[in-house]
Every structure is written in C-alpha cells, then in structure tokens.
C-alpha cells in the first residue's frame, strides 16, 4: 500500500450530510474575509448581519453578568421567558405564556430541532432563507416548495397553500412563513395574513412564523400572524437582527398551549445536545426584551437608515434595468437581472451562480445567488444585504437629524458609502 498524501481518508468515512456543503451565507462571509486578508477590496453584501452595534444598555447588562456561570434551565432563564412574553404582548397583543417559551442558541438551532421532533412535510416558499431546506434535507424530511412570483412581490397566496394541502388534507405539515422576508424585504398586509391564517387553520398546519426581522419593519408596523391563528402559530425570534447581536446566538420560540408537546419534545433534544443557552447572554437579553425609551430610539434610527438606504439602492438598481421589490423591512434586496439576460449571456453569464462569482471576481462586490434561496439556477436573481457600513457612526449621525425628516442622499453617501459604491459598481457592471 502506498503512503497516504494526507487528503485521502485512511478510514472509510460515511458522512451524513446528504451531499450538502456549508451554508451559503457563511461561505460568502468566509470568502469575503479571505479576499480581504489577501488585500482585495470587498464590498460585503453577502452575509445578512446587522450593521448596528448592540444597544449600549444591553451591552452594559452583559458586562454586569459576566459572573453568571451556572447552567441554566434547558428551556431558558425564567425571567427572560417572562420578559419575552411581556414583549410579545406589548407589541402584538397576543397572549402566549412564559411556560411555553423556549430559548436556544440562535433560532436556527431551534428550527432544526423543531424539524427533528416534528414528523411532517416542510412547506417553504421559493424564494426563502438558505437554511430551511437544508435542515429538512439533513433530517430527511420531504420538502414541498411553494412557488411565489415577482409579480406578486414574492408573497405566498392562500390559493397556493390550498392547492398543495387539498391533495392530501390530513397530512401533517409544518410551514415556515418569514416576513419581513429574507431574501427580499417584503411583508404582508393584515388582510393577507388573515387569509393565510385561515387556510393554515383549515388544514391544521403548524405555522412557524419566523419574525426575526419584525422589529426591523421600516415603519415599525410589523403585525404577527399569531394574532389570526394563535392556536397553530409558533413565533420565532431572537436578538440577532433587531439588537445587532447575531454572534451572541440567542433565539426564542413562543408556542401556543396547543403545541406545548412540541416544545417538550424539543427540550428533550436540547437537554441531550446543547444543554442550555449561554447564561450571561440570557441575563443581558432580559434587558433587551424589557424595552424602554433607549431601545425604541435605537430602533427608530436603525429603521430610518435602513429604509432610506433600501429605497435608494432599489431605485438605482431599477434604473440599471433590474426588477425588484421595494423592501418594507429587514436589510435585503432581491433584484432580478433577467431583463438584462441578453447582454449577460453574451458575456457567458447564464446562471445566478455565474452572475455572483463573476461579480465578486470583477468588482469585489459579494452577494448571494438566487439559487441559494430555492430559485431556478438560470433565473438571474441575487440577494444583496445592505449592511456594509459602520452602523455605530450612522446611528450617531442619524440622532442629530430630527426624526420627522427622512435621510437624504448626502447622508447615505457619507455614512453608507460602501453600500452606495457597491450599488454603482453592480449597475455599471451589469450594463457593460
Ligand atoms: N440570516 C443571515 C443571512 O441570511 C445570516 C445567518 C445565518 O445564515 O446563519 O444572511
């Protein structure tokens, strides 16, 4: 037998990830970092990470709790679970109870263990966030993609859900509805939510309302679908987006009493895997969910900046020939460069993967291909996260401008320059 060159396994490894590679969001982040280490200028519109700092009051609370060293209950710190319930009640008026809240190390992990304990088909929209599908694939669940269309602003219609469910009405199903939505920033009106809730109730769908961007609705007007289907809706949230604390890894699920058995089953898995969520982070999170003036003001400014930037970038991309939804929340745009397909094809670009790899190679702008969000490979869509700016500096500057005034182009070129430059680069590049 010849000597191994170190890359061939000496032992036959049966790896159980069903041919998946690392998540697209994390890969683009690592690629961007590597290119920067190698001295390249990179515009980081890949990973969807809040540009804003964790609010000072929440950071202070973390400092006050560095001594917290004990393992906490599997379901989470009781005070935190209480403060979350109070928070949901204040913002949505829905009456979930603290004993039915579960804290986890990121809502992503909670979603995974939900899918692990719930035996049913997964209904997800195309497009939707990169990890819902792969989680189901790892576990071995059937995925039923629900198509949505740019002409409907990528909103799912009750008819589309109905069409799938009526073929086998009693099949157990879990549907994930995320809004304001990743990857396009769109949301739903109350009437639309009511109609979706109605069909979900008719087919007894377990609805996972991924409301992680709820507080980043650009006008502060997020409405939870749990208002219309409380008996079947699990609210999913966390600190990552509205509190700028993705790396703190704190997520939550709030269950209605009728789904408490799911939470208990998830607690079994949690207790045998991650045990409990980081103690100092949970204590600090109590402060975040208690809210108050400082946090409201912080959010007001975050929203105003994101709204101005999202709208301006949308207009510019449209002028360059792309089609896209004007975002209502979060920090994502999902342009379709289909109208420029002819010119792009002439340059050898026929898929969203090629679009994104050529874009980063030729301009330094990192974005993610539509295919990572469940779109057909040859559709020329891409997700842009408009987060590449110094959020602390932008917040300070916004605080100097009366809240009644919208932020103008000068503000954006001064405080969100990388995003504006990246937009110009994309617009010029696609029209070359
Ligand atoms: N949700 C973020 C995104 O879509 C990043 C977090 C993650 O994917 O784990 O870019």
337-391: pLDDT as tens digits: 999 999 999 999 999 999 999 999 999 999 999 999 999 999 999 999 999 999 9
- Whole-number Å distance, alpha carbon 240 to ligand 1 midpoint, is 9
Ligand 1 atom nearest to 23, measured from its CA? 8
pLDDT bin (cut points 50, 70, 90) of residue 2 is: very low
Counting ligand 1 atoms within 8 A of each CB, the residue from 236, 244, 246, 374 with the most, and so the one to mutate, is: 246
Contact 40, 364 (CB under 8 A): yes
Counting ligand 1 atoms within 8 A of each CB, the residue from 130, 238, 330, 387 with the most, and so the one to mutate, is: 130
Selection from 420, 149, 103 nearest residue 270 by Cα: 103
In the prediction, which pLDDT does 15 show?
A: 82
- Going from the N-terminus, what domains does the chain have, and what CATH number goes with each? 24-49+294-431 (3.90.1150.10), 56-291 (3.40.640.10)
How do residues 182-198 score in pLDDT, each as one tens digit?
999 999 999 999 999 99
Counting ligand 1 atoms within 8 A of each CB, the residue from 24, 25, 131 with the most, and so the one to mutate, is: 25
Selection from 228, 169, 220, 167 nearest residue 194 by Cα: 228
- Whole-number Å distance, alpha carbon 214 to ligand 1 midpoint, is 15
Q: Which pTM was predicted? A: 0.95
Mean pLDDT of 5-9: 65
In the prediction, which pLDDT does 4 show?
A: 52
In the prediction, which pLDDT does 147 show?
A: 95
Examine the pLDDT at 141 and tell me if it is beyond 60: yes
Q: Whose CA is nearest to atom 5 of ligand 1?
A: 48
Angle at 363 between CA 360 and CA 365, to 5 degrees: 50
Mean pLDDT of 81-99: 96
Contact 359, 426 (CB under 8 A): yes
Phi, psi values for residue 272, rounded to 5° = -100, 0
Mean pLDDT of 233-259: 98
In the prediction, which pLDDT does 1 show?
A: 42
For ligand 1, is residue 111 a contact (CB within 6 Å)? no
In the prediction, which pLDDT does 5 show?
A: 59
Mean pLDDT of 30-42: 93
For ligand 1, is residue 47 a contact (CB within 6 Å)? yes
Examine the pLDDT at 241 and tell me if it is beyond 60: yes
The structure tokens listed for 351 are 């898929």
For ligand 1, is residue 23 a contact (CB within 6 Å)? yes
């Amino acid at each position: 037998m010849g000597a191994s060159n170190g890359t061939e396994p000496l032992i036959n490894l049966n790896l159980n990830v069903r041919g998946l590679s690392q998540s697209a969001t994390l890969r683009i982040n690592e690629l961007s970092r590597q290119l920067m280490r190698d001295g390249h200028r990179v515009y980081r519109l890949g990973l969807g990470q809040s540009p804003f700092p964790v609010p000072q009051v929440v950071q202070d609370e973390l400092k006050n709790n560095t001594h917290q060293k004990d393992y906490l209950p599997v379901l989470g710190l009781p005070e935190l679970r209480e403060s979350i319930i109070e928070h949901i009640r204040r913002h949505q008026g829905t009456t979930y109870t603290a004993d039915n809240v579960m804290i986890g190390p990121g809502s992503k992990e909670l979603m995974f263990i939900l899918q692990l304990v719930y035996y049913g088909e997964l209904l997800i929209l195309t497009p939707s966030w990169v990890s819902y599908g792969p989680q189901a694939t790892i576990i071995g669940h059937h995925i039923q993609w629900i198509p949505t269309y740019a002409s409907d602003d990528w909103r799912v219609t009750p008819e589309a859900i109905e069409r799938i469910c009526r073929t086998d009405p009693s099949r157990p199903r879990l549907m994930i509805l995320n809004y304001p939505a990743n990857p396009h920033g769109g949301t739903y009106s109350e009437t639309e939510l009511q109609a979706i809730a109605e069909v979900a109730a008719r087919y007894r769908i377990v609805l996972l309302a991924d409301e992680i961007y709820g507080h980043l609705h650009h006008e502060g007007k997020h409405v939870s679908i749990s208002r219309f289907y409380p008996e079947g809706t699990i609210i999913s949230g966390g600190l990552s987006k509205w509190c700028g604390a993705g790396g703190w890894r704190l997520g939550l699920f709030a269950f209605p009493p009728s789904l408490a058995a799911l939470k208990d089953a998830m607690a079994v898995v949690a207790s045998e895997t991650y045990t409990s969520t980081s103690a100092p982070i949970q204590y600090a999170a109590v402060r975040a969910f208690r809210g108050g003036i400082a946090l409201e003001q912080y959010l007001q400014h975050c929203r105003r900046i994101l709204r101005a930037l999202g709208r301006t970038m949308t207009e510019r991309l449209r002028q360059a020939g792309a089609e896209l939804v004007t975002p209502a929340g979060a920090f994502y745009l999902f342009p379709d460069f289909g109208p420029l397909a002819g010119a792009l094809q002439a340059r050898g670009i026929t898929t969203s993967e090629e679009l994104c790899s050529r874009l980063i190679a030729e301009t330094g702008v990192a974005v993610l291909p539509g295919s990572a969000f469940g779109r057909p490979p040859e559709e020329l869509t891409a997700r842009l996260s408009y987060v590449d700016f110094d959020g602390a500096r932008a917040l300070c500057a916004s605080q100097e401008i009366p809240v009644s005034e919208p932020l103008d182009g000068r503000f954006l070129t001064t405080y969100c320059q990388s995003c504006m430059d990246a937009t110009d680069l994309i617009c010029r590049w696609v029209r070359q």
